[in-house]
Every structure is written in structure tokens, then in C-alpha cells.
Amino acid sequence: MTSTEQRPVWAEHAAQALAEAGYRRGGARRAILELLDEQSCALSAVEIQEALSRRNRDVSRSSVYRVMEELEEIGLLQRVEIGQGMVRYEPVRSGPGHHHHLVCDRCGRLQPFTDDGLERAIRRLSDRVPLHVSEHEIVIHGACETCAAA
């Protein structure tokens, strides 16, 4: 694969969509988009800021929240409410990679999971409810194996 084929697809799409929505382009915004594109699961604003800092990109927390709000407004970012006032964010992607979340209520660990049977059940449910289901998110709470064993 060439380096151009490895370019972040979601980040490019998001940057274009933000520009078309009238938002400015900037280095901090680009760094946030690229970081989000590399993630396999949701991150909190604090985790985003810390990850950028490790990359020598100092971005204020208010900038992180502002970009998250802009992306959510144009439908490219999903808020994952994990309880106790905690919110994480992840890119909305089409195709493979759709997953749900397991949340440990003790340590806060977030783990993605997929389940074909659950997806089939949601499709069947969508045929019976008076709503065209465009997306869905399942968050299951409990104690992770480590915390349950303690």
C-alpha cells in the first residue's frame, strides 16, 4: 500500500464536511480529526487532549469540545454516554466496524463488542416500531472480569 492509500479516509471526509458547513480549517482541528480516525473505539475529551499532547500537539480542552460539537452537529461524530456524566466520542462510519460498548462501572473501562444476533434483532425490531431506525447504540454496564474478580 502506498502512503497516499493509507491516508485517513474519515478525517479527509470530516475536514471537507466541516469546510462545506462553514467551519474554519486549522491545525488543531486537523490533529483532532486524524487522531479520531485512528481510533477503534470512543475517547473522552480528556483522552483526546492527552493523546494530542503526547504527539506534541497542545490543544486546549475547549478546542476539543468545540470540534466535537461541530462534528456531532453535522452527523460525523457520535456521543457515547457511558453513565455518571461521562461522555466519549467516536467517528460515525458507514460499513464494517460498527460496534457497541461494554462499560465497567467500577474502573470505567470501555470495551467495544459486536454481535450479529443483536444486529439481526435490532433490524427485526425496526420493522415493528413506528420509526425509521437510522442508527443505534447499545451500552451495557457491569463489572469487567478484573473488577468482578477483586
For all residues of the chain together, what is the average pLDDT? 88
pLDDT digits (tens, 9 = 90+) for 1-49: 333 444 468 999 999 999 999 998 888 999 999 999 998 889 999 999 9
Give the model's confidence band at 137: pLDDT under 50 very low, under 70 low, under 90 confident, else very high. Answer: confident
Give the model's confidence band at 95: pLDDT under 50 very low, under 70 low, under 90 confident, else very high. Answer: low
Domains of the chain: 1-94 (1.10.10.10), 95-150 (3.30.1490.190)
How far apart, in Å, are the Cα atoms of 33 and each of 20, 80, 120? Answer: 16, 17, 32
Q: Which residue has the cell 471537507?
A: 16
pTM over 0.85? The answer is no
State the Cα–Cα distance between residues 26 and 32, nearest whole angstrom: 10
Report pLDDT for 96: 66
